[in-house]
Structure 1
């Protein structure tokens, strides 16, 4: 584990950029960027186009370590290069931004009010490759739709079981049990979730470090006590379908909680924009999200 990167993530001012839409969500991400499905002939061409989009974001002067602490990459992005360097090396060496990797394979079907992660075959091999590529940490997502105690317990147990496997490989896992922002009992789910996370944290080995990526809570500062746990490096918030303005407004009410936005970060960016238009819009988004993250 790189201690310089660890200290930056733990104490730095700023937020984490999520550039990790993958597989099924890639065509949608490209559509929002103004690239239609008939613009690419196959999966390889699609991934090339999405890499060009992410390269444009990463190379933008707006994508600056003054505001951005880390960036979460999709596996395909990790394996590609920017200006002759692997993406993670470019991020850290040229930009001073800490690289993370999304490792989950998507969501299982809804059961007990939640969606667990699908199995992750070959995870250890992927983690070894990530370590070789100088990745600092990982991210994996589950979803909670209802305040179902049994379902929420399963989500958190699965997240922490895999999180421990990741930590053993020298990487810092971002544990992401997302509570659906449209859930009718979101606040009740958050109470159950916090109890389960606390129980799992208290059972961790002394040296294990994790991060948490959570939906912005209904009750402001609800996760403040989890931030004090010695195992927790940082708690970041997902935008979860809120617009950037809504997400920023809600985030600003939570002291110490920082953004890890995906759609809310890239909102409004399109392929046809000139570099000046693109960079100006991205700069405004980055600064607004930064301001909401440092409250």
Structure 2
């Protein structure tokens, strides 16, 4: 029996674990893939207070893992398949095991959205849906496309502009939705182009993407672009990983909480990007985890 079970080892989950274990609680973190979550896939970490110079998502995640392990948190790397959150004992099921705890903190994060267009599934990893931090070097001196206009997308576009020949940002709205700092960097880069009110509607190719269609929603015109080796990086938002939490009332897939990260169920907390809130950043995830970790460690 654990005092606190945490589902998810991103910045929110690890922060919650550190604060709970520091208060003498036996803590288990269940993580599907790797400590850091989606943060491990981003090219650079910015704006978070105290980061190292040239901090990458990978380096940040590695330091996060080392800190958590040094704190004495137990980790298991398994996928959660079912949860039972009602009652004084919470049960978390994975494919081969079940774990019981007095408190549960949900920190399961989000899954990046796909475009759901023809050719996307067949060409995934073959020029479509690439990862800037991992795959950017493959496109040195080549043409790449970044889908999305929020901070995350534009930050990756700026990173890719140092590698690729050209970077074209494709965004369906009339203006980019990123912060002023990133807009200035886009304007200053001579190899970044921006195509607003536009969408990629089709990708095609045999063993890799060799053509894509871009629809201009203002004119209704579609342009077909052919390129022997093109990279498309999609940052079109994310879906909260809350499908297992049917015992909770969700709002558009997100979990409502109070200021202490408590859900409507006693002993159940929700933190990070699955929580219903306006600002989703590493700093706010860590804040959520801090509050939930402390609250969950209190004896009731």
TM-score normalised by the shorter chain: which range applies?
Answer: under 0.3
Q: Which has the higher helix share?
A: 1
Q: Which has the higher strand share?
A: 2
TM-score of the two chains, using structure 1 as the length reference? 0.25
